């Protein structure tokens, strides 16, 4: 019978609350592993036994992981930008939808030219006065 080792990651209190749902509990899982004859070891101590982060090899591993994370960020940005370009080609309008439609904007501009105050116009359309001010801009 082979014995296996479960690496037990230290959990902070919010994470324990998150993981303690219906049938899963970190403490019960660890106890079940111990009862089966397998061993447990804290992950932090296991990682330090493999390669302390203060040594050259440990810093090299961190540099490798950092490079992989940076490469993944670049891939994510590339996919997001490709998606934006494809959406624009399909005719999708980017950004927030305007509070006032074209007809309302034209009417607001006419009212501004007639001398009505920005706040009065804004109240009638139920928008902030800076929205009307940007139209007049």
User: Rounded CA gap, 79 and 87, in Å?
Assistant: 12
120: confidence class by pLDDT, cuts 50, 70, 90: very high
* Residues forming a β-bridge with 40: 6
Q: What is the pTM of this model?
A: 0.43
34: confidence class by pLDDT, cuts 50, 70, 90: low
* Residues forming a β-bridge with 8: 42
Q: What pLDDT is recorded for position 53? A: 61
Q: What is the DSSP letter of 127?
A: S
CA angle 48, 50, 53 (to 5 degrees): 50
Lowest mean per-residue pLDDT among 29-33, 42-46, 97-101, 121-125: 42-46
84: confidence class by pLDDT, cuts 50, 70, 90: very high
Encode pLDDT of 2-23 as tens digits: 455 444 455 555 555 545 444 5
Mean pLDDT, residues 98-112 taken together: 94
Identify the CA nearest to 41 among candidates 9, 19, 64, 18.
9
Q: Which residue has the higher pLDDT, 96 or 27?
A: 96
Average pLDDT, the chain: 77
């Amino acid at each position: 019978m082979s014995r296996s080792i479960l690496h037990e990651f230290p959990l902070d209190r919010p994470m324990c609350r998150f993981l303690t749902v219906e049938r899963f509990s970190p403490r019960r899982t660890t106890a079940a592993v111990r009862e089966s004859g397998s061993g447990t070891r804290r992950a932090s101590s296991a990682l330090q036994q493999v390669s302390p982060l203060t040594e050259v090899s440990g810093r090299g591993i961190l540099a490798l992981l950092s490079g992989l994370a940076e490469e993944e960020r670049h891939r994510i940005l590339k996919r997001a930008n490709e998606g934006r370009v494809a959406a624009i080609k399909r005719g999708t309008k980017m950004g927030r939808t305007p509070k006032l439609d074209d007809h309302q904007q034209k009417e607001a501009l006419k009212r501004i030219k007639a001398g009505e105050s920005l706040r009065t116009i804004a109240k009638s359309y139920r928008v902030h006065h800076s929205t009307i001010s940007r139209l007049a801009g």
